[in-house]
Structure 1
Amino acid sequence: MLLPIHLVLGVLAATLTAAEPTGNFSIPLSRRQSTGDFSLQQVDVFSSDLNDIVVKYSRAFDNFFRNTGRQHPLQSNKLLRRADEASVDLRNVDNGLLWTGEVQFGSPPQTIYIDFDTGSADTLVNPGAYDPDSSSSSHNTKKSFSNTYGDGRKANGTIYTDDFSIGGISGKHVAIGLAKNDFIASRESPNKGISGLSMPSIQTFPSACKPFFHTLRDQGAVSQGIFQFTIKTGSGSSLHLGGIDSSKYTGSITWVDFDPSDGFYVASASINGKNIKTILDSGTSLIIGPPDEVKDLLQSIDGVKVSDQQGQIMGTFSCSENPKVNVKYGGKTFPLIHTHLKQSDTINLPMNAWIMGDPFFQSASVIFDQDNNRLGFAKQA
């Protein structure tokens, strides 16, 4: 039996927690359970996922130019396709392609499941997910927003601010975009929105409507501008905010600097010994790289057969094999294990960098330190 290799040409696709310190809170993350392995017949579905990612980054680069007046340094010249601490459990949704957790907006609180995304900045929800008329603390900013998604759907609507809480942390006047149309597909249930954790320079919202974590920092709701993703293939995934949960990792933390002016979390790394520049993106279900670089990687891995499937380059391996793909940050190596490898493809990316999505996050506990402009990587406990 052959398994599609979670790596891709231009896309390294991946179908690829314990006692809390006093005063800490965690947001559980969860996903819908997988209904089976990928097959070579699912190329069309995979292509749709890739297109979504291209549109996402094209929009982010447009936002960066609008907010800063300059082209993003990672953008290629190719034509584009346009309390103190808290933790939240994450839910596995859509066959492992999405991780969601709970937030609350309004007074009284309205609970919403959302996708926490380090590759975007705004909080947007489907109509009906949030009712401003039922909240005594809701404020209509009279500002509108517009986003486009990879399947052609647009999210247009109005920006409100309201009381907000997440895993025991509370804030006021946090921005939420209420869409007029369903831009989150029903297959992603219970997810009803996206909440960005990147820098404000790539946000669609006006500058006064900052990403929710920046608002919590500004209001002193967290003592440290740090959050930590620990995504597991099974249960126990979480997003920890306001500090570092040492129970989620073992050994030491390796730190790598990032430049906040980039908008994204950009860090230098290597993959199977080749130096690359990466974007850490919890909202992407794949690992994606420039086509030539990914093709070279696939061809260099023992046990991987590279072929053309419906015009897309695929890497496949026997289920009895264990292809070796190692990602290294600082001095620490994180192998992508057999269950993280699933499929590959090629596409024109709008950037000169690799996107490290969920398959990598399932291999490490990743810490985002906005106070010191650094990223931490540690082995999961």
Structure 2
Amino acid sequence: MQLKLSFVAGLIAASALATAAPLEQQERGINIDISKRAKLTVDGSSQIDWNKVDAHMASLRTKYAKSFANYEKNTGKVHSLKRDLPEHLTKRATGSVALTDQEGGELWTGTMAYGTPSQSFPIDFDTGSSDTLVNPGAYTPSQSSTSKTNGDQFSTSYGDGTTASGTIYTDTVHIGGLNAANTAIGVSNQQFIDSSEGSQGISGMAFPQLAAFGSNYLPYFYSLKQAGVVSSGKFQFDLRTSGSSLYLGGTNSAKYSSTPVYVGIDSNQGFWQVPATVNTQSIDSIVDTGTTIIVAPTSQAKTLFKQLNLPTFTQDGSLYAYFNCNSPPKVTFKYGSYSKTLSAATTSFGTTNSGQCVLSVAGSDLGLNAWVTGDSFLQNVVAIFDTDNNRVGFANKA
């Protein structure tokens, strides 16, 4: 049967998890090795592969269209950040792109397993969404003695009326030595993510309000917390060119060299959405490990490009700026009292065919009035996501 959402029940379940944060030394956490599964450049070159970039932008439009649709279905309200896409971009967030997310981006992949005996598969950890979804064949419920289903279906709708759908199961999740029973996993009826680069699905780490499953099924990290296998509702991303990690159930102070600065969020909005400034321009920032570069609303990107005095060009409807690679501009993000300037390596995500560096901040209409702050920023910091106290923390890397 079609899943009937009970958002009030979900909020009660979620709030039960939001206990006072334990002391750092009492946190029982576990480290998960993660790695980058793709790049936006041509193999063996710094030159940008624009087909991958265009696909990544289209996928972001799809992703946020999904999240807004789920939010509205769960809460009965239109999300405050939602903006209508221009007509020429609407179809890019629907149809075949929606059913197959050809990300082509620098997504962060680790190993997760479900079932008894466990079935392992590589999966992208994404703080910009809330469900654990896998392609058909990645997880086979009939091969697990602990798999259950009520026959509940998940369905994600798009602007042109098409849907991606499948069946919700619960089973024991295994990740980094942690185990939690009755954790939700959705098995899609069709391939929805390109598996050629290693990943078989997406595991969302945002809040239940964005879940396509509805609030009767908590995201997997909440299930770990509920099962008591982690004592803290924090998780930490440390993204690097090598040796990246996801730490579940606390913070790993060996990874950072400064005291974390925390900024509060409104968890009712579903996203890890934080007020910030970029070169003095006030913005809303969605901290999203599932996004490669930094994507701003076009008008706000233009303001930054003008401040930096950079020339621009348009590619597939998105606006980019470029500069001499020997003279990178200064792009500084400030969250509360924490300030971080992009490193020279992360100020650009590749070069044009003429050898100019392209700024890692792009302007694009994704259908939301916020910056999507992805990998190009996150590789400069250690980011801590605290579900106990509804806040995001930032610290310098060790």
**TM tier relative to shorter chain:** 0.7 to 0.9
Identity of aligned residues (%): 39
Q: Distance in 2 between matches of 1:347 and 1:251?
A: 33
Point out where structure 2 has 5 or more consecutive residues left out of the alignment: 1-24, 94-101, 350-357
Q: Give the partner amino acid of 2:328.
A: N
- Structure holding more strand per residue: 1
Once the two structures are TM-superposed, the CA of residue 155 in structure 1 deviates from its matched residue by: 3.9
Mapping of residues 86-105 of structure 1, within 5 Å: 97-105=106-114
1:29 maps onto 2:46 in alignment: no
CA distance in 1, matches of 2:70, 2:298: 25
Q: How does 1:248-327 map to 2 (within 5 A)?
A: 248-301=255-308, 304-309=310-315, 312-327=318-333
| C-alpha contact 2:29 2:230 (8 A) present in aligned 1 | no
Question: How far is 1:339 from its partner?
Answer: 2.0
Task: Quote the offset at 1:247 in angstroms.
Answer: 0.7
d(CA) in 2 for partners of 1:122 and 1:263? 12
TM-fit CA distance, 1:263: 0.5
CA contact (8 A) 2:28 2:250 kept: no
| 1:120 aligns to 2:129 (yes or no) | yes
- Distance in 2, Cα, partners of 1:67 & 1:78: 22
* Pairwise CA distance, 1:153: 9.4
**Aligned 8 A contact 1:101 1:113 in 2:** yes
Change (3 A) 1:372 1:313: closer
In the TM superposition, 1:59-208 aligns within 5 A as 59-78=66-85, 81=90, 82=93, 97-147=106-156, 155-189=164-198, 191-208=199-216
State the partner residue of 1:331.
337
Q: Return the structure number with greater relative CO, CA threshold 8 A, min gap 6.
A: 1
Shift of 1:346: 3.9
Contact kept in structure 1, 2:132 and 2:220, CA below 8 Å: yes
CA shift, 1:372, in A, is 0.8
Distance 1:311 1:37 in 2: 25
What is the CA distance between 1:328 and its match in structure 2?
Answer: 1.1
Deviations 1:280-331 (A, max 9, x none): 11111121111011012122225x3323456643311122122211111111
Structure 1 alignment gaps of length 5 or more = 1-19, 83-92
CA distance in 1, matches of 2:340, 2:303: 20
User: Aligned partners of 1:313, 1:95: CA distance in 2, in Å?
Assistant: 19
Match of 1:378 in 2: 395
Work out whether residues 130 and 178 of structure 1, in 8 Å CA contact, stay in contact via their aligned partners in 2.
yes
What is the one-letter code of the residue matched to 1:212?
Y
Q: 1:87 maps to what in 2? A: none
Task: Kindly provide the amino acid, as one letter, of the partner of residue 36 in structure 2.
Answer: R
How far 1:78 moved relative to its partner? 5.0
Q: 2:230 aligns with which of 189, 206, 222?
A: 222
Deviates more, 1:330-339 or 1:247-256: 330-339
**Amino acid corresponding to residue 323 of structure 1 in structure 2:** P
Which of the numbers 370, 386, 389 marks the counterpart of 1:353? 370
Number of residues paired by the alignment?
347
8 Å contact kept, 2:384–2:393 = yes
Give the aligned residue type for 1:253. Answer: P
Higher fraction of helix: 2
Scaled by the length of structure 2, the TM-score of the pair is: 0.81
2:381 aligned to which of 339, 358, 364: 364
Q: Which moved more, 1:312-321 or 1:135-144?
A: 312-321
Using structure 1 for the length normalisation, give the TM-score: 0.84
**How many angstroms apart in 2 are the aligned matches of 1:375 and 1:284?**
17
For 1:366 and 1:192, how far apart are their aligned partners in 2? 25
**20-29 vs 216-225, which moves further:** 20-29
Partners of 1:280 and 1:310 lie apart in 2 by 24
